[in-house]
Amino acid sequence: MNASTLAVETQNSEPAPFPIYPLRPSEVQYFLKTCDAPIAAFITAQGFAGLERKIVLIPGNDGIAGALLGIGDDQTHLPFGILSSALPPNTHWTLLPGSYDAEQAALAIMRGAYQYERFKPRAQAPARIVVPHATSRSVVLAKAIYDARDLINTPANLLGPAELADAGAELALRFSAKTERITGRALDDGYPALAAVGAGSARHPQMLRFQWGDDPALPLISLCGKGVCFDTGGYDIKPSSAMLRMKKDMGGAAIALGVAQAVMALNLPVRLDVRIGCVENSVSGHAMRPLDVLKTRAGLMVEVGNTDAEGRLVLADLLTDAVSAKPDWLIDFATLTGAARVALGPDIPALFSNCDHLANALLASGRATHDPLWRLPLWVGYDSWLDSTIADCNTVGSKPMAGAIVAALFLNRFVPKNVSWAHIDTYAWNDVSRPGQPEGGEAQSLLATVSAIECLCHEARH
C-alpha cells in the first residue's frame, strides 16, 4: 500500500468538513452541556458514555453534523483505530483536540485503516481523517507497519525466498543502501546451516544484506530476520492445523525490514547493518533429516534434533556474520517457538537479551509506544539440555519444557558476550480484528525497536 493511500492527513491538509469529538467517560457530561438540547437528548438516548469503541453519528440538517468517539480510559490510543472502518466511506473528517496524543492517535487510525488489497480491493474508499498537530512521523511509522504487514499477508506461492529478498533489495535501493545478495555455492560455503534449511525446496535459499550510513562515529545497529517463507516442518512435518498460517513464518524478516525502513525514512543518526535469511522449509529428497549433523558459519557442528526447529539454524549463521562488524546493538526478530506463545499468548513477543541496558531500552520503549514485550531469562541452567553426544550441540532441548528459553540459549552460543544482543520471539499475527490491529500479519515490536533506537541516538549525542 502506498503512503498516499494512508487514511490520515496531517495538519498541512485541507480541513475536513465533519468534526470528531473524542471523549473519555469523565468528559461526556461536560460535552453534553455545550450541545443544543435536542442533540444532547439524542446523544443520551444512544447510551453514549465515552466507553471504548463506541461511536455515535450526530445528525444535522444535511445528514451528518459530526461524530462522537468513545476512547474510555485507555492510554494506548488504539480505540482511535476503529474510525476509518466505522465512519461512512468517502467522507472527510477532522479530529478535534482532546485528552489524547495527536501523534499516537494518528498512528492508531492509520493502523486500523490497513487492509491487504492485493486480490480484493476495497469497494469504497475509507473515511479520510485529518489529525491536527500530527506530523509526518506517524505516516512514516504507519507505512513501515503497512509494508511489513503486506509481506506477512502475501501467500507463500507468491512470496518465496527470491521474492522476499527482492523486497529487501528494493527497500535498500530506495534509501541508497549498499546491498549484498548471496545465493548458490557462496551460500552453501558461507552460510551452511541456512542453506541446509532451504535445501529441501525447489525455491533456493538466499541471504540478503544491506548497509545504510557510513559515518563511523554513529552507533551501528545490526538487525537480523528469520525469513522462512513457508514452514512445513520438514520431515518432522507439522499437522495441518499448525501449518495453516505458516506463510507468516517470515514475519521476523518482515519486521526487521520494517524497522530498517522506519529508521532510514526518519533519517536517524545511526548506521544500519541488516540481514535476512530467505528460505523455505520443505520436504524432498534433498531436505535435511532428523539427526543429521550440520556445520554452521561459526564452525560449530549441530545435530538436528527436529527439522521443525529450522529458524534457529537460519539465525545462527546470520548472527555469526553480524557480530563480526562489532555492532553497538544486535537485534534479531523471529517467529521462532510455539513455546513463547504458550507462555505469553499471541500479543506479547518474548524478549531475551544478554544486556540489561538493551533489554531495558526495548521494554521501556515498548511501554511508551504500547508495543509490549516481556523479558524471559537466558537461564544457563538449561543450557546442558542442548548437549549432543556426537556434535557440539543439538538444535533442540532434551526435555519437553522451556522451549523458548532453550531456543534462545541455542542462539546465545553464536553471540559473544561483548556484543549487546536481543532476541525477539514474536507471533507476527493478529488472530482477530481489534481497533488498530486488523486480523492478519502484524509488525509486533517494530514501534518498540524504532523508539529504542531513537533513545540510543539521544544517548550517543549526550
pLDDT tens digit sequence for 419-443: 999 999 999 999 999 999 999 999 9
Structural domain of residue 418, as residue ranges? Answer: 141-461
> Which tens digit of pLDDT belongs to each residue from 102-147?
999 999 999 999 999 999 999 888 999 999 989 999 999 999 999 9
Asked if 187 and 105 sit in the same domain, the reply is no
d(CA 353, CA 340): 15
Same domain, yes or no: 192 and 57: no
Q: What is the pTM of this model?
A: 0.95
Q: What single-letter amino acid sits at 115?
A: Q
Query: Quick check: 16 pLDDT over 70?
Result: no
Q: What residues are labeled active site?
A: 238, 312
What's the first-to-final CA gap in the chain, in angstroms? 38
Assess whether 9 and 107 both reside in one domain. yes
| Domain identity same for 130 and 150 | no
Task: Report the DSSP beta bridge partners of residue 276.
Answer: 208, 225
- Cα–Cα distance between 50 and 23 in angstroms, integer? 5
The model's confidence at residue 9, banded by pLDDT at 50, 70 and 90, is low
pLDDT band per the 50, 70, 90 thresholds, residue 350: very high
The dihedral sign for the CA sequence 161, 163, 166, 167: negative
pLDDT value of position 2: 44
Q: Which of 97, 112, 134 is the last residue of a domain?
A: 134
CB 358 within 8 A of CB 422: yes
Q: Reply yes or no on whether the pLDDT at 285 is more than 60.
A: yes
- If 0-12 CB within 10 Å is exposed, 13-18 middle and 19+ buried, where does residue 98 land? middle
Same domain, 126 and 254: no
Percent residues over pLDDT 70 in the chain: 96
What mean pLDDT is predicted for residues 301-314? 98
CA angle 265, 6, 348 (to 5 degrees): 75
Burial (CB count within 10 angstroms: exposed 0-12, middle 13-18, buried 19+), residue 368: middle
Per residue in 82-96, pLDDT tens? 999 899 999 999 999
> Position of cell 513457508?
230
Residue 3, pLDDT above cutoff 50: no
Whether 410 and 263 share a structural domain: yes
Single residue among 101, 134, 167 that ends a domain in this structure: 134
pLDDT tier, 7 (very low <50, low <70, confident <90, very high otherwise): low
The CATH number for 419's domain is: 3.40.630.10
Do residue 314 and residue 445 come from a single domain?
A: yes
Cβ–Cβ < 8 Å for 80, 108: yes
Q: Are 211 and 112 found together in one domain? A: no
255-282 pLDDT, tens digit per residue, is 999 999 999 999 999 999 999 999 999 9
Where among 79, 101, 134 does a domain terminate?
Answer: 134
**What confidence score (pLDDT) does residue 17 get?**
75
- Residue 15's pLDDT band, with cuts at 50, 70 and 90, is very low
Judge whether residue 400 has pLDDT over 50.
yes
Average predicted confidence (pLDDT) for the chain? 95
Share of the chain above pLDDT 90, in %: 91
Q: In total, how many domains does the chain have?
A: 2
Whether 13 shows a pLDDT value over 80: the answer reads no
